[in-house]
């Protein structure tokens, strides 16, 4: 995949999220080495949900909040988390309101404190571009993945 194709995976995820219209909060994990394209994918997702302009990488702020398509959408990047106990101070759990989305780069830094994400995107380097492996770990995640397969 090139960068535009990575963005379009995010756009397809957005379409699937709207189509599946899950009532509960969804946690979406984005894993992969530095520069693998996690924020690029989130950029495609947020744009497809109606965000205009650039997406700020939450590397320093840790959380960037949005309200898009009637949903609370929080984009976080846990790379700079020093210890998973800092998550309690961040109040990530309080962000899990009905129909909300929590997009988490570097979810492994949470050391299980966020639970297993409903959906996981694992980005990697392949030849000159990138590849992505998508998996679901909950019923809601599987429904979104099924909707994504239809797009
Ligand atoms: N196929 C591709 N998919 C995504 N990004 C690509 C691709 N090819 C090149 N790039 C470039 O690689 C960079 C990826 O950066 P991005 O911020 O999305 O990565 P990241 O996984 O979020 O990194 P970090 O772990 O630092 O947050 C961007 O500059 C992007 O333009
Ligand atoms: Mg990033």
Question: What's the whole-number mean pLDDT along residues 129-133?
Answer: 97
Distance from Cα 27 to the centre of ligand 1, integer Å: 21
The helices-and-strands tally (H runs, E runs) of the chain is 4, 6
Distance from Cα 102 to the centre of ligand 2, integer Å: 14
Tell the residue number behind the tokens 């949903």, with chain if given.
71
Question: What's the whole-number mean pLDDT along residues 111-116?
Answer: 88
The burial class, CB within 10 Å (0-12 / 13-18 / 19+), for 127 is exposed
Give the residue, by CA position, lying nearest to ligand 1 atom 18. Answer: 37
Considering the entire predicted model, what is its pTM? 0.96
- Please say if the pLDDT value at position 132 is more than 90: yes
Contacts of 90 (CB under 8 A, 6+ apart): 62, 63, 76
- Predicted local distance difference test score (pLDDT) of residue 98: 94
pLDDT band at 13 (very low <50, low <70, confident <90, very high): very high
Testing ligand 1's pocket by substitution, the residue of 1, 8, 11, 37 carrying the most ligand atoms inside 8 A of its CB is 37
Q: How far is CA 44 from CA 7, 47, 114, 120, 140, in A?
A: 4, 5, 24, 16, 21
Q: Which two tokens stand for residue 3?
A: 């960068």
Q: Closest ligand 1 atom, CA of 2?
A: 1
Nearest ligand (C-alpha, residue 43): 1
Distance CA 23, CA 121 (A): 21
pLDDT band at 37 (very low <50, low <70, confident <90, very high): very high
Distance CA 140, CA 96 (A): 14
């Amino acid at each position: 995949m090139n960068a535009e194709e990575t963005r379009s995976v995010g756009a397809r995820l957005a379409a699937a999220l709207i189509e599946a219209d899950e009532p509960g909060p969804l946690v979406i994990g984005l894993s992969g080495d530095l520069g693998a394209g996690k924020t690029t994918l989130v950029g495609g997702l947020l744009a497809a949900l109606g965000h205009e302009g650039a997406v700020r990488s939450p590397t320093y702020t840790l959380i960037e909040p949005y309200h898009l398509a009637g949903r609370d959408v929080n984009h976080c990047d846990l790379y700079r988390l020093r210890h998973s106990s800092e998550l309690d101070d961040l109040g990530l759990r309080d962000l899990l309101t009905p129909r909300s989305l929590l997009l988490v780069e570097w979810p492994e830094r949470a050391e299980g404190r966020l639970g297993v994400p409903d959906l996981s995107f694992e980005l990697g380097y392949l030849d000159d571009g990138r590849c992505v492996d998508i998996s679901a770990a909950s019923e809601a995640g599987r429904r979104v993945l099924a909707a994504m397969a239809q797009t």
